[in-house]
Chains A and B, each alone.
Chain A
Amino acid sequence: MVMDITFEKVGYTYQKGSPFESRALYDIDFDIKQGSYTALVGHTGSGKSTILRHLNALNKPTEGKVIIGDREIISTTNNKNLKGIRKKVGIVFQFPEAQLFEETIAKDIAFGPKNFGATEEEGIEIAKRMLPLVGLDETYMERSPFDLSGGQMRRVAIAGVLAMEPEVLVLDEPTAGLDPKGRTEMMEMFYSLYKEQGITIVLVTHQMEDVANYANHMIILENGTVVKEGAPREIFKDEAWLESKQLDVPATVSFASRLEERIGLQLGEIPLTTEELADKLVAELNRKTAAGLNPFEGGDAK
């Protein structure tokens, strides 16, 4: 079955029908294709987290519909029988360490699978497989999750979501508050899941570097509605527009555009990752050397 997630004219109003009602989403239309790595980007309060809760029917749209795989969710959809969706779409919420509660790490990781029908033994078996995936070893199985450091708790919580073996993995700022090393490890781990197991990933983030490094689709939100959608390379071209939405481009892109400004270096297509930028600079240097020019001198802007 194809696990695309499609939003059709989705609107959402909090506390509808009460004097405190407030509108969070308007007319949202987008498509998260199976096997894509989508980045959901926007300023704080733009509705990212609200959208996120629609991806596995934790919230139901007050207008329009969300199609998850073969299920259609509208405002009147019954709360029963949504478990199938929740198993297929796993969400790692912001600061997921807050969801740990069992007395051992193994049991906590097995909690998700057990809710979806796995037996105790199967659950523990899955937990054993998941721990190395998030960078912990089997010695952690019997420890209490509350003895761990914040970063390790985060890993256990993420393992708990991965244990449900979702087809779509939704990540809400999974690296917020982690050190740079933990951050890279975590992002690489998700990327290898995406590459090797073909998991669809939806990433909510403020880190444009992560978007540039990993995502192949980008959705930009502002004030509860989609303002732009497309490939990161296309979207990062327009630095001024992004700035007007209180967003910025990755460091590589701004570095490349500064090079162009200062010494008139033309790199062609914008570089998204550091490797790409380095490759282009090396190519440029080789070209100049071959042409008998001083490679370290500004070219056309003399």
Chain B
Amino acid sequence: MMEKLIFGRYIPGNSWIYRLDPRAKLLSTIFFIFVIFLANNWQTYLTLFIFVLTAVLLSEIKMSFFINGIKPMIWLILFTVILQVLFTGGGEVYFQWGILMITSQGLMNGVFIFCRFVLIIFMSTLLTLTTMPLSLTDALEYLMRPLTALKVPVYEIALMLSIALRFVPTLMDETEKIMNAQRARGVDFGEGNVFQQMKAIVPLLIPLFVSSFNRAEELATAMEARGYSGGEGRTKFRKLDWSASDTLVMAVFVLMTGALVLLRT
């Protein structure tokens, strides 16, 4: 069903990027997404591309994974790009029809938006491909820790996140199984008009909810039986470990930001 979706998956590996601290990777990805809006000419985009391609090379993951990561989004990207091209004025006018026009400025903008999408998708795909979901929640928990001062239940949020992530594949399997069982009983998924399609979902959704309720109950019982009583006073099995290379990564990001500020017009 979702089998072609690469974006958001983890691929086991052991390159330099894999061994970085998840906090460093998460922070730098978020940082990158903000910084990308500094770019406004070809020099700055070139810098960013070189930077991202270096990161991809360092991850030792095949380029095809990243290209595939873009595929599901390609229509969204093209739609935005075309809107940009058609509705941006300024510069030399090549073609005009009512309010629709193609101008040099518009084309430039389109290309830049396209680059922006590609860069952001590459970078976030890189993050999820090289970081285990559980490490990501650990990082998130650590980074959200200051929020405890504002009475945000950070520990509970992190627990919910890690349980949710852990059960995504299980639920996907379950969905697949129930779907097959109902198809074997004569249900056609994804056929007929909207109303028929919605009706066909009921025999899938109800069992899924029921099994999620059962699963939640079983999990809660099992957790209590193993002595779980909330976030207070627990120790950690997976310790995050910030090393020199993580500091280096952050430094490189700061340098890159400096370069962007200098190069932008």
Number of A-B contacts (CB under 8 A): 68
B184 on interface, CB distance cutoff 8 Å: yes
Interface flags, A54-84, vs B, CB<8A=1, else 0: 0010100000000000000000000010010
- Binary contact track B173-207/A, C-beta < 8 Å → 1, others 0: 01001101111111110010000000000110011
* Distance between Cα atoms of A14 and B9 in the complex (Å): 17
Residue numbers in A under 8 Å from B178 (CB-CB):
98-99
Q: For residue B182, which residues in chain A have a CB less than 8 angstroms away from its CB?
A: 99
Q: A85-113: contact bitstring with B at CB < 8 Å (1 yes, 0 no)? A: 01100110110101111000000000110
CB-based contact B186/A101 at 8 Å: no
Q: In the complex, which of the residues B65, B187, B210 contacts A19, with contact meaning CB atoms closer than 8 Å? A: B65
Q: Write out the residue numbers on chain A whose beta carbons fall within 8 Å of the beta carbon of B235.
A: none
Q: How far is the CA of A146 from the CA of B213 in the complex (A)?
A: 12
B221 CB to closest chain A CB (Å) equals: 16
A161 within 8 A of B: yes
Interface centre among B11, B174, B206 (most CB of A within 10 A): B206
Query: Is the CB–CB distance between A100 and B186 below 8 Å?
Result: no
The digit string for A151-181, where 1 denotes a CB below 8 A from any CB of B, is 0000000001100100000000000000000
Q: Known contacts A98-B174, A100-B207: does B184 contact A90 (CB below 8 Å)?
A: yes
In the complex, B6 has a CB within 8 A of chain A: yes
> Are the C-beta atoms of B185 and A99 separated by less than 8 Å?
yes
Q: Which residue of B lies closest to A96 (CB)?
A: B181
Q: Does A115 lie within 8 Å of B180, measured CB to CB?
A: no
What residues of B have a CB within 8 angstroms of the CB of A18 in the complex?
3-4, 6, 68
Q: Which residue of B lies closest to A56 (CB)?
A: B184
B3 and A161 contact, CB distance less than 8 A: no
Q: Does B65 lie within 8 Å of A58, measured CB to CB?
A: no
The residue that A58 contacts in the complex, of B11, B62, B64, B184, with Cβ under 8 A, is B184
Q: Does A15 contact B (CB under 8 A)?
A: yes
Q: Does B211 contact A (CB under 8 A)?
A: yes
Within the complex, the shortest CB–CB distance from A120 to chain B, in Å, comes to 15
B184–A91 CB distance below 8 A: yes
A98–B183 CA distance with the chains assembled, in angstroms:
14
Interface size range of chain B in the complex: 20 to 34
Give, as a whole number of angstroms, the nearest-CB distance from B112 to chain A: 29
A20 at the interface (CB under 8 A from B): yes
Complex alpha-carbon distance, A94 and B177, angstroms: 9
- Nearest A-chain residue to B190, judged by Cβ: A79
Please give, as numbers and ranges, the residues of chain A lying within 8 Å of B211 by CB-CB distance. Answer: 98
Q: Which residue of B lies closest to A115 (CB)?
A: B186
**In the bound complex, do residue B207 and residue A19 qualify as a contact, i.e. CB atoms below 8 Å apart?**
no
What's the interface size class on A, roughly? 20 to 34
User: Chain B residues near A83 (CB, 8 Å)?
Assistant: 186, 188
Q: How far is the CA of A96 from the CA of B186 in the complex (A)?
A: 15
Which of A87, A91, A115, A116 has the largest count of B CB atoms less than 10 A from its CB? A115
Which residues from 113 to 168 on chain B have a C-beta closer than 8 Å to any C-beta of chain A?
none
> Is A233 an interface residue, CB under 8 A from the partner?
no
Give the residue among A53, A86, A116 with the most B Cβ atoms within 10 A.
A86
B:48-74 near A, CB below 8 Å: 62, 64-65, 68
Residue among A20, A96, A116, A146 making CB contact with B3, cutoff 8 Å? A20
* A-side contacts of B206, CB under 8 Å: 101
**Which residues on the B side are within 8 Å of A115 (C-beta)?**
185-187
Interchain CA distance A90-B182 in the complex, whole Å: 11
Residues of B within 8 A of A94 (CB): 177
CA–CA, A58 and B183, complex, Å: 7
A20 to B169, CA, bound (A): 15
CA distance A100 to B182 in the complex (A): 9
Task: State the Cβ distance, A4 to closest chain B Cβ, in Å.
Answer: 19
Per-position binary interface string of chain B over residues 89-112, scored 1 when its CB falls under 8 Å from any chain A CB and 0 otherwise? 000000000000000000000000
Complexed CA–CA distance, A75 and B206 (Å):
32
Smallest distance from the beta carbon of B68 to chain A beta carbons, Å? 7
When distances are taken between beta carbons in the complex, the residues of chain B under 8 Å from A91 are 181, 184
Partner of B177, one of A14, A56, A90, A93: A93
In the bound assembly, the distance between CA atoms of A53 and B4 in angstroms comes to 20
Chain A residues, Cβ within 8 Å of B174: 98
Of A53, A96, A101, A146, which is within 8 A of B202 by CB?
A101
Q: Is the CB of B184 within 8 A of A93?
A: yes
A sample of 28 inter-chain contacts (CB < 8 A) reads A15-B3, A18-B68, A19-B6, A19-B68, A20-B3, A53-B180, A56-B184, A58-B180, A58-B183, A83-B186, A83-B188, A86-B183, A86-B184, A91-B184, A94-B177, A98-B178, A98-B211, A99-B178, A99-B182, A99-B185, A99-B203, A100-B207, A101-B203, A101-B207, A111-B203, A112-B185, A146-B210, A161-B184
Beyond known contacts A20-B3, A98-B211, A101-B210: 11 more, CB 8 A cutoff: A56-B184, A86-B185, A91-B181, A91-B184, A98-B178, A100-B207, A101-B207, A115-B186, A115-B187, A116-B186, A164-B185
Which B residues have a C-beta under 8 Å from some C-beta of A?
3-4, 6, 11, 62, 64-65, 68, 174, 177-178, 180-188, 191, 202-203, 206-207, 210-211
Interface residues, chain A, CB within 8 Å of chain B?
Answer: 14-15, 18-20, 53, 56, 58, 80, 83, 86-87, 90-91, 93-94, 96, 98-101, 111-112, 115-116, 146, 160-161, 164
